Chain A
């Protein structure tokens, strides 16, 4: 499929730039660890309550770090008019947005894995009990964050207050996704049985991803092209 090939090409470009400069990885990764550290002062890490809050804590960290990642996504194309060049090329707008999202997901997943390690050490949590399910939740939720981030990164790329507007617009939209991710992560980290309500939240994750990916593909053209 042409769209997927274009998207993968864009993603490969972004990821190779990122792996060479490591600007997003370093800044977002350091940010994530700092926030985990700050939270350890806000809540006592040994308390029972802190154990219950682990899902919320993790996903707040990922949401904030993700903002740093997808903020860079389209902004890095602004100097030297690279964005205009990309739009003028044969890459479709949908492919461009999809590619940016794929690259952001890759970077975000690396940061999430790193954060999980640090979290396990700081909070004395064993998080590897259900690796497959945890990985599925992380991938689905991160995809939701990054596809919305990519579309709205494209939308706000030329705004004066981009760094401020982007989080303000995106976080209310991401609320159902984050809620679902937090609930599921809490259950998986606490090593509890997967119940019916968990499948509801899993469905919310999937529906969110499907709906917003479809909308992003449809609306990429009007958003990007002048």
Chain B
């Protein structure tokens, strides 16, 4: 049943992306100042939002695990974090390519890029910690603690670096500026892409979480087999 849900989500995401892709490439006009390269924003920004949504969901799941001891929460938290990490890396890479065209450098130590890199490092550390612990309950507990600390740090990192002067493009989405900075058609396309990416991320998370519980099942079967 879970596989069907996952496939359904992927199919839906694929359809949305395909339709939107047509609009992005052929219907919408170029950005007045940047030219065609700006279209990367349609993946760059939704990837970032997806990643942070995932990290936040992981925070909730981790807190839930610590209070309830439900191992499914732990599996889901690990899966969500891993998938979100992929989208965060995607954000960094697309941002880097965009920066190369616009600013002429592959990397610059501006606020948002640095913050995102810090996030990637923190959650890569989370995955490394999970790999280093064999015992499932202990792994779940410590990973949950790190997830909570990690998200608190992400918030502090973002707010503190935002105070620093930045040459990253200023917020253009209506939710942050109250409208008027971005053509509404472009903004709509961005949000549609965001929906598609969120669905895709959800599908990947379901698949990954399934693998986590399979791994746990194997582990418990092995222990049982060794005991007799």
A residues in contact (CB < 8 Å) with B: 148, 151-152, 155-156, 158-161, 165, 168-169, 171-173, 175-176, 179-180, 197, 200-201, 204, 207-208, 211-212, 215, 219, 222-223, 226
Contacts and interface: CB of A to CB of B under 8 A. Distances in A.
Interface in B102-138: 118, 121-122, 125, 128-129, 132-133, 138
B141 A176 contact: no
B125 A172 contact: yes
Given A222-B144, A223-B145, A173 B66 contact: no
B129 A208 contact: no
Contacts of B122: 172-173
B141 A222 contact: yes
Nearest to A148: B149
B156 interface: yes
A168 B128 contact: yes
A165 B132 contact: yes
B152 A200 contact: no
Contacts of A211: 152, 156
Contacts of B160: 176, 179-180, 200-201, 204
B157 to A, nearest CB: 5
B56 to A, nearest CB: 16
A56 to B, nearest CB: 13
Contacts of B99: none
Contacts of A168: 125, 128
Give the dominant DSSP class at B's interface: helix
A172 B125 CA distance: 9
Contacts of B142: 155-156, 223
8 contacts: A148-B149, A155-B142, A158-B138, A165-B128, A175-B118, A175-B153, A219-B66, A223-B141
Interface of B: 66, 118, 121-122, 125, 128-129, 132-133, 138, 141-142, 144-146, 148-150, 152-153, 156-157, 160-161, 163
Given A159-B133, A165-B132, A169-B129, A215 B149 contact: yes
A57 to B, nearest CB: 17
Give the dominant DSSP class at A's interface: helix
Give 8 nearest A-B pairs by CB, closest first: A172-B121, A169-B125, A204-B160, A172-B122, A173-B153, A176-B160, A219-B145, A200-B163
A159 B142 CA distance: 11
Contacts of B138: 158, 226
B108 to A, nearest CB: 16
Contact of B148 (A165, A207, A215): A215
A226 B133 CA distance: 14
A155 B66 contact: no
A179 B132 CA distance: 29
Q: Which of A156, A173, A179, A180 has the largest count of B CB atoms less than 10 A from its CB?
A: A173
B152 A176 contact: no
Contacts of A175: 118, 153, 157
A179 B118 CA distance: 12
A175 B142 CA distance: 21
